[in-house]
């Protein structure tokens, strides 16, 4: 394992640089809301653009595919551009692409604008966590990351419902125009922040760097965890209604519980990551496998379903910040952005793989089989991550206070 990156710390005081972190969190909120909103406006999009719902749904798939394909090469191309200039430009390009979506005269223009937006989104997210690491001392990176990732967590229970409601009342174009304005505002505000650059890469070339191999091992295993999650989450509606027997109102309530628990998980992720930097990801993944299996009892009683869904939501709130912080810590100094790009790529590949595998289960089995398949996939990954996170020696302690 490589040493933790130190970066250029602009704030070494015990407290966190709250203003900067909250502004970055707000920008992340806007980007993720823009990413996920089409799924909630699929009916309006298909009707207005005069395409089938399945065709409109490709806007979601094209986004994930673009992020997965473009994040790593774009991160390499942008490696030498100062972050204080690059980040506002990316958000401004994102705002322009989202404006293009709002004004698109046809499905083709909508798809093109979404692909451009996805590319800027992927690069922005590749840089986001490494930037956070330059703002705080190593021992507080996990907490800082959890503050920033609270924005995306809130997007699922605040941004998406508000955007969908506005789209239903005022039209989907108004929702995207509003998001474009928020992204442009974020670009203007972030221009005022002194965002430091990460250290330059040192030591071995990337292909021979043991840190890169460690990042790839962890990323592949984490990708399996995410595959298991999205295998379930993509088909949450049939899981709750066909297997669990819950009507649409109860299902919506359970989804709110899921989202609220996710926000709580994100809030607690930083402390867990900072206290147990090596073990946290393996522990969360192991709990995730158990949580997936626990969905087998969704059909028992409503109170059981609430507990099970809340546990699942808590863990998906924990996983992204714990994963991103872990990848950041095992990356070689100067290669943090590359590890961030790998993390974003894995997330989007997990979305696609999970949706595909879940579809096969639905087509050939039944919704009640989804938890068992997901638990098996996640358990394989959790075993690998537990092995990866074993302490190098018993009771070893980092200088920054985190146990390894």
pLDDT (mean) for 187-204 = 74
Predicted confidence band of residue 216 (pLDDT cuts 50, 70, 90): confident
> 190, 223, 256 — which closes off a domain?
190
Indicate whether 11 belongs to any domain: no
The conformation of residue 369, written as its DSSP 8-state character, comes to: G
**Of the spans 91-100, 151-160, 185-194, 233-242, which averages the highest pLDDT?**
91-100
Closest among 201, 148, 153 to 36, alpha carbons compared: 153
Q: List CB contacts of 364: < 8 A, sequence separation 6 or more.
A: none
User: Do 185 and 211 belong to one domain?
Assistant: no
Those residues with Cβ within 8 angstroms of residue 142's Cβ, 6 or more apart along the chain or in another chain: 269, 270, 271, 272, 273, 274, 277, 321, 322, 325
State yes or no: pLDDT of 39 exceeds 80.
no
Which distant-in-sequence residues (6+ apart) come within 8 Å of 68 by Cβ?
Answer: 122, 345, 348, 349, 352
Indicate whether 75 and 183 sit together in one domain: yes
Q: How many domains does the chain contain in total?
A: 2
Q: Is the pLDDT of residue 238 over 70?
A: yes
Residue 267 shares a structural domain with residue 227: yes
Residue 200 corresponds to which tokens in the numbers above? 């330059």
| pLDDT of 60 above 60 | yes
Please report the pLDDT score of residue 12 as a whole number.
42
Q: Is residue 60 part of a domain?
A: yes
Residue 401 is predicted with a pLDDT of 47
Which domain does 126 fall in, by range? 18-190
Per residue in 334-361, pLDDT (tens digit) is: 777 777 788 788 877 887 788 788 878 8
Residues 173 and 210 placed together within one structural domain of the fold: no
* Sign of the alpha-carbon torsion through 74, 343, 320, 198: negative
Q: Name the residue among 311, 329, 3 with its Cα closest to residue 144.
A: 329
Q: Can you tell me whether residue 46 is helix, strand or coil? A: helix
Q: In this predicted model, what pLDDT tens digit does every residue of 112-161 receive, in sequence order?
A: 999 999 999 999 988 888 888 888 888 888 888 889 988 888 887 888 78
Looking at the structure, do residues 106 and 38 belong to the same domain, yes or no? yes
The pLDDT tens digits for 4-38 are: 444 444 444 457 888 999 999 999 999 999 988 88
Of the listed ranges 70-79, 208-217, 244-253, 356-365, the least confidently predicted one is 208-217
Residue 9 lies in a domain: no
Q: Read off the tokens for 156.
A: 């699922």
User: What pTM does this model have?
Assistant: 0.77
How far apart CA 143 and CA 204 sit, in angstroms, is 30
**Dihedral sign of CA atoms 360, 365, 370, 373 in order:** negative
Tell me the mean pLDDT in the region 328-339: 78
- Tokens matching residue 81: 């551009």
Q: Classify residue 399: in a domain, yes or no.
A: no
pLDDT surpasses 50 at 258: yes
The more confidently predicted of residues 327 and 392 is 327
CATH number of 162's domain? 1.20.1250.20
On the question of pLDDT at 394 being above 70, the answer is no
Question: Which position has the higher pLDDT, 399 or 58?
Answer: 58
């Amino acid at each position: 394992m490589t040493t933790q990156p130190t970066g250029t710390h602009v704030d070494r005081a015990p407290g966190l640089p709250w203003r900067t972190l909250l502004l970055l969190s707000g920008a992340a909120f806007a980007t993720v809301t823009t990413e996920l909103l089409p799924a909630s406006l699929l009916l309006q999009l298909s009707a207005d653009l005069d395409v089938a719902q399945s065709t409109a749904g490709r806007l979601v798939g094209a986004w994930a595919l673009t992020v997965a394909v473009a994040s790593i090469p774009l991160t390499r191309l942008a490696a030498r551009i100062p972050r204080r200039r690059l980040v506002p430009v990316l958000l401004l390009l994102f705002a322009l692409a989202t404006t293009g979506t709002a004004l698109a005269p046809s499905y083709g223009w909508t798809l093109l604008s979404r692909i451009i937006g996805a590319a800027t989104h992927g690069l922005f997210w590749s840089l986001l966590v490494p930037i956070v690491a330059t703002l705080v001392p190593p021992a507080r990176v996990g907490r800082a990351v959890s503050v920033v990732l609270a924005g995306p967590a809130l997007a699922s229970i605040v941004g998406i419902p508000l955007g969908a409601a506005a789209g239903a009342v005022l039209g989907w174009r108004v929702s995207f125009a509003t998001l474009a304005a928020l992204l442009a505002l974020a670009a203007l505000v972030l221009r005022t922040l002194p965002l430091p650059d990460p250290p330059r890469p040192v030591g071995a070339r990337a292909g021979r760097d043991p840190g890169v191999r460690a990042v790839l091992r962890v990323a592949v295993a984490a990708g399996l965890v995410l595959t298991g999650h999205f295998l379930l989450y993509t088909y949450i509606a049939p899981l709750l209604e066909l297997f669990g027997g819950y009507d649409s109102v109860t299902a919506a309530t359970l989804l709110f519980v899921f989202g609220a628990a996710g926000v709580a998980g994100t809030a607690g992720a930083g402390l867990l990551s900072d206290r147990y930097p090596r073990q946290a990801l393996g522990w969360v993944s192991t709990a995730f496998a158990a949580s997936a299996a626990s969905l087998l009892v969704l059909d028992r009683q409503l109170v059981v379903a609430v507990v099970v869904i809340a546990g699942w939501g808590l863990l998906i709130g924990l996983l992204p910040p714990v994963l991103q912080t872990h990848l950041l810590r095992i990356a070689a100094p100067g290669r943090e952005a590359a590890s961030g790009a790998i993390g974003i790529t894995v997330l989007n590949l997990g979305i696609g793989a999970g949706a595909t595998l879940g579809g096969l289960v639905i087509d050939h089995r039944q919704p009640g089989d989804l938890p068992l398949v997901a638990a098996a996939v996640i358990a394989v990954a959790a075993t690998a991550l537990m092995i990866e996170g074993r302490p190098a020696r018993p009771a070893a302690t980092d200088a920054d206070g985190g146990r390894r």
